[in-house]
Amino acid sequence: MAHLQLSAVAGGGRPAAAGGGGDEMEDVRLLDSYDEEMGGGAAAAAAGEEEEAHVRVTGMTCSACTSAVEGAVSARRGVRRVAVSLLQNRAHVVFDPALLKVEDIIEAIEDAGFDAEIIPDTAISQPKAQKTLSAQFRIGGMTCANCVNSVEGILKKLSGVKGAVVALATSLGEVEYDPSVINKDEIVEAIEDAGFEAAFLQSSEQDKILLGLTGLHTERDVNVLHDILKKMIGLRQFDVNATVSEVEIIFDPEAVGLRSIVDAIETGSNGRLKAHVQNPYARGASNDAHEAAKMLHLLRSSLFLSFVVGKRFYIAAYRALRHGSTNMDVLVVLGTTASYVYSVCALLYGAFTGFHPPIYFETSAMIITFVLFGKYLEVLAKGKTSDAIKKLVELVPATALLLLKDKEGKYTEEREIDALLVQPGDILKVLPGSKVPADGVVVWGTSHVNESMITGESASIPKEVSSAVIGGTMNLHGVLHIQANKVGSETVLSQIISLVETAQMSKAPIQKFADYVASIFVPIVITLSIITFLVWFLCGWVGAYPNSWISGTSNCFVFSLMFAIAVVVIACPCALGLATPTAVMVATGVGANHGVLVKGGDALERAQNVNYVIFDKTGTLTQGKAVVTTAKVFSGMDLGYFLKLVASAEASSEHPLAKAIVEYAFHFHFFGKLPKSKNGIEQRKEEILSRWLLQVEDFSALPGKGVQCLINGKRVLVGNRTLITENGVNVPPEAENFLVDLELNAKTGILVSYDDDFVGLMGITDPLKREAAVVVEGLKKMGVHPVMLTGDNWRTAKAVAKEVGIEDVRAEVMPAGKADVVRSLQKDGSIVAMVGDGINDSPALAAADVGMAIGGGTDIAIEAADYVLVRNNLEDVITAIDLSRKTFSRIRWNYFFAMAYNVVAIPVAAGALFPFTRLQMPPWLAGACMAFSSVSVVCSSLLLRRYRKPRLTTVLQITVE
């Protein structure tokens, strides 16, 4: 999952074991383990060796100098990559040490006319093997899509920045950058130089933390803190900011824990200094509240001191014009300045001539006040769009109860700690009615946990020893002791928050329309304002309208100027810029509350037009829990020994079908002879299996066919019909007939041979999910064509498809061929969604226009998907499509309101109705209308918060919109 820090599997998936009909790896679930290191060494060797050099370059004065340095170094043979930073006076060079030496790099730079010296590794703050970082910045002062485009353009031009996305609705920017070339402070500086406010929030760097400090008042306190941190092992770097009482620490998490750092600060200062982790999300929420409070303060001040408060518009307009862009501030400044300058001139004219024309100082003041009022309401409304993130953040408990052991390993003490200081391996006590502090496993106790806030599933989930628990969920009844295994950014809740944030910052393709309109909007409005003034003035000058029209305004110049000012002030580019991001923001939050995680606006936009939904069979349409229903011997072998033989062959495989076979054989032999508790059964099972199973030699798994091995020196084959017939084993007619009956009843047949003689077979079924048939029918009602895709044999596939109501079936498809099926449906321009959960679904999920990973699908499947359906429930497929349609219906309404407002308001302000109604829109009223237009669009998006997903009882009533 993008931005969920889930790792892909290097080297691909494992081969299948006994999978019917080539259903390779189809049942693999999230809890299966994979070797992430497979093939890593070979890949590194193939890529060749690389070394890095950091060079200090002096004498550079402009971008032409950096280009000269880059060109000189790049021309040397063996240079892979080079990046030069003018602000840092540094060059970062990646090169092949077999072809180039560091001295050659120095020589190339000096030949270009600059001084150069190697920077020792110890002087470089970032680790040598530094990866690209993704950091979030809060950006203030943006008012429309033009501001967004301006900031993005500036960021993307920075050396070392690989990508930048800015969201107007959240006032956030996400920047992907190379920390060896540019740092966060330089990014903040670049944003501020562009005329906006900027503050760093957080980055993806896992070994950096920001601590808030209490008690840091004097220089002596700072020195004490320095002494404490210098003595700590594992601290790479720290930076104390006494002004805001914060310290940024880069540390080695393998050498020192975060809680140890916090404890050391308090202990080393004898309690004078206390440290706490700064929560970036809480800081973001407080910034929202601060922005709203700041706007309210400005509004109150504006009621009495409009010209003083109005300077913010003049400053922002100057910065925008200085960088060659235009925005709403430019329009406000033009309107207020025109009326103010005219009034000053009229006042002076009256002082010298004795004739006093009307003045309009109040127009400037009222325009500023009403615009600020609208901005205040807009800030409040925009804050509501991020409620989903705030609610998710609030799920994390503030504290946790840490259980401490004595030297003998007994729990002797409970300690309340900050939940952000929980470390992997900690044993935590969770009381009834409290929230689970971190992801982990129950080590003692039983209870029920409400996981609806994470999964959207309302039913409480029973928990006992070995059960997994999710941080942020509510413990309902009993006391639990859990062992934390995932903390911080690795928890499910943090990953969901990260995904929702990323989706809210992403731009839907439809946003390009608003960006284009915004880029030309202000120049067009200014042109229309000038035309308005000239038309009214020239018509009045030649007497095209009666003098009675201008009575009260002294002359046609003032009469025409008021129309022109109204045109400038009433036009609103902000509404267009907010139409898409606010709706996407609300929709992704609503989706998260319902267990539907959307990766971005582009996925949300594509899903509304889906023509085909392809379902993987096993684990998607079915429950993914294979069970053996039949075992029949067609030789003289005893049934008990037959099951022992098959279980021994399959015990070396981790395929779910293999596990089902071992489970069936185990319970056949030992049912009623085991402890009643689940934990006791598991402990005894491992012990019994190690003694009971037969010795296996030369085991091998055959992808899409089954397994083969040697037992007692004789070959054993366990798999599908293809495996048996390819090895020349004859299947008796009665066994063939029995197998056909199994397949016609939607069961998979597993055939077994011993010493090249057919001995028997087993029937395995994977029950359909109870909602499968209703969801398929609901999709048909929505105008979506369902397709079933499986590696199983045709008879079983058709039987399952018939039961679920799908006519279009693609069977006996190997994993590599699933993506080909997706592409074949896309040939005519159709939009195809793929729903799957296994590693073998990943190519198809990536190839589809909309990939949906359902339930606890494997990490790599989630990585390839556009939607993650947290619950293992097919109903969420309908929810995803329905939410997409509702969202883009709302976006279209937003654009209609924004466009209609400008199309109607500008002519009215220009006086198009004046000849018929004698009504003229005062500029201050035009300013009020402009301010409220943005608020109306945001409020329109907020209506999506009322979204309710379709229920299964009513889903069949869904019709094509």
Q: Read off the pLDDT of residues 798-830 as tens digits, 9 standing for 90 and up.
A: 888 888 999 999 888 876 788 889 999 999 999
pLDDT band, very low/low/confident/very high, at 26 (cuts 50, 70, 90): very low
> Mean pLDDT: which of 19-28, 499-508, 924-933 is highest?
924-933
Contacts of 107 (CB under 8 A, 6+ apart): none
Alpha-carbon distance 261 to 267, whole Å? 10
Q: Lowest-confidence range among 88-92, 324-328, 332-336?
A: 324-328
The string of pLDDT tens digits covering residues 238-288 is 888 887 788 888 776 656 777 888 888 888 888 888 888 776 555 544 455
- Residue 388 is predicted with a pLDDT of 61
Specify the amino acid at residue 524. Answer: I
Only one residue has tokens 């200090």, namely 56
Contacts of 418 (CB under 8 A, 6+ apart): 262, 276, 277, 398, 399, 400
Paired tokens of 355 = 């004739």
Residue of higher predicted confidence among 354 and 55: 55
- Residue 20 is predicted with a pLDDT of 37
CATH code for the structural domain at 208-277:
3.30.70.100
The string of pLDDT tens digits covering residues 657-666 is 888 899 899 8
Fold of 51-118: Alpha-Beta Plaits (3.30.70)
Alpha-carbon distance 280 to 783, whole Å? 43
Residue of higher predicted confidence among 217 and 641: 641
Residue 633 in contact with residue 757, Cβ under 8 Å? Answer: no
One fold for both 208-277 and 595-622+768-885? no
Alpha-carbon distance 88 to 845, whole Å? 43
Q: What is the mean pLDDT of residues 450-461?
A: 71
Residue 930 has pLDDT above 80, yes or no: no
Q: What sign does the dihedral 948-953-954-955 (CA atoms) show?
A: positive
Residue of higher predicted confidence among 668 and 317: 668
- Residue 43 is predicted with a pLDDT of 35
Provide, rounded to the nearest whole percent, the portion of the chain with pLDDT above 90. 13
Alpha-carbon distance 779 to 959, whole Å? 9
Specify the amino acid at residue 819. Answer: A
- Residue 18 is predicted with a pLDDT of 36
Region for 829 from its dihedrals, namely left if φ exceeds 0, alpha if ψ lies in -120 to 50, beta otherwise: left
- Residue 352 is predicted with a pLDDT of 73
Alpha-carbon distance 453 to 592, whole Å? 9
Element spanning 881, H or E: helix 875-909
Residue 612 has pLDDT above 90, yes or no: yes
- Residue 44 is predicted with a pLDDT of 35
Contacts of 301 (CB under 8 A, 6+ apart): 308, 309
Alpha-carbon distance 303 to 277, whole Å? 41
Residue ranges in 635-718 assigned as alpha helix (H): 639-650, 656-670, 678-692
Residue 325 has pLDDT above 70, yes or no: no
Alpha-carbon distance 421 to 403, whole Å? 14
For residue 58, count other CB atoms closer than 10 A to its CB. 10
Residue 614 has pLDDT above 90, yes or no: yes
> Mean pLDDT: which of 145-159, 176-190, 877-891 is highest?
877-891
Alpha-carbon distance 797 to 807, whole Å? 11
- Residue 755 is predicted with a pLDDT of 92
Alpha-carbon distance 823 to 801, whole Å? 21
Paired tokens of 243 = 């002004």
Of residues 632, 495, 514, the one with CA closest to residue 4: 495
Only one residue has tokens 């009666």, namely 546
Q: What is the mean pLDDT of residues 459-485?
A: 87
The string of pLDDT tens digits covering residues 352-382 is 776 566 665 666 666 666 666 656 655 665 5
Of residues 617, 706, 616, the one with CA closest to residue 657: 706
Beta bridge partners of 32: none
Three-state DSSP class for residue 831:
coil
Residue of higher predicted confidence among 589 and 326: 589
Q: What is the mean pLDDT of residues 325-347?
A: 72
Alpha-carbon distance 816 to 863, whole Å? 17
Top CATH class of 400-493 equals: mainly beta
The string of pLDDT tens digits covering residues 535-593 is 999 998 888 888 888 765 567 888 888 888 888 878 777 777 778 878 888 888 888 88
Provide, rounded to the nearest whole percent, the portion of the chain with pLDDT above 70. 75
pLDDT band, very low/low/confident/very high, at 693 (cuts 50, 70, 90): confident
Domain ranges, ordered by start, for the chain: 51-118, 133-203, 208-277, 286-365, 400-493, 595-622+768-885, 627-671+684-765
How do 115-118 and 161-167 pair as beta strands?
Answer: unpaired
Top CATH class of 627-671+684-765 equals: alpha beta
Q: What is the pTM of this model?
A: 0.62
DSSP state of 620: I
Contacts of 727 (CB under 8 A, 6+ apart): 717, 753, 756
The string of pLDDT tens digits covering residues 124-148 is 333 333 457 788 888 888 877 778 8
Residue 302 in contact with residue 368, Cβ under 8 Å? Answer: yes
Alpha-carbon distance 810 to 791, whole Å? 8
Top CATH class of 133-203 equals: alpha beta
| DSSP letter for each residue of 267-306 | HHTTTS-EEEE--HHHHHHHHHHHHHHHHHHHHHHHHHHH
Contacts of 900 (CB under 8 A, 6+ apart): none
DSSP state of 477: S
The string of pLDDT tens digits covering residues 282-305 is 554 445 555 556 656 655 655 454
Contacts of 302 (CB under 8 A, 6+ apart): 309, 310, 365, 368, 369, 372
pLDDT band, very low/low/confident/very high, at 646 (cuts 50, 70, 90): very high
Q: Lowest-confidence range among 257-261, 401-405, 882-886?
A: 257-261
How do 867-869 and 850-854 pair as beta strands?
Answer: parallel
Contacts of 627 (CB under 8 A, 6+ apart): 660, 664, 764, 765, 766, 767
- Residue 47 is predicted with a pLDDT of 43
Fold of 595-622+768-885: Rossmann fold (3.40.50)
DSSP state of 130: P
Alpha-carbon distance 324 to 329, whole Å? 14
- Residue 933 is predicted with a pLDDT of 77
Q: What is the mean pLDDT of the chain?
A: 77
Residue 744 in contact with residue 800, Cβ under 8 Å? Answer: no
Q: Lowest-confidence range among 287-301, 381-395, 685-699?
A: 287-301
Torsion of CA 716, 28, 656, 855, to 10 degrees: -170
The number of CA neighbours under 13 Å toward the Cβ of 397 is: 27
* Distances from the Cα of 955 to the Cα of 786, 877, 946, 961, angstroms: 15, 12, 18, 14
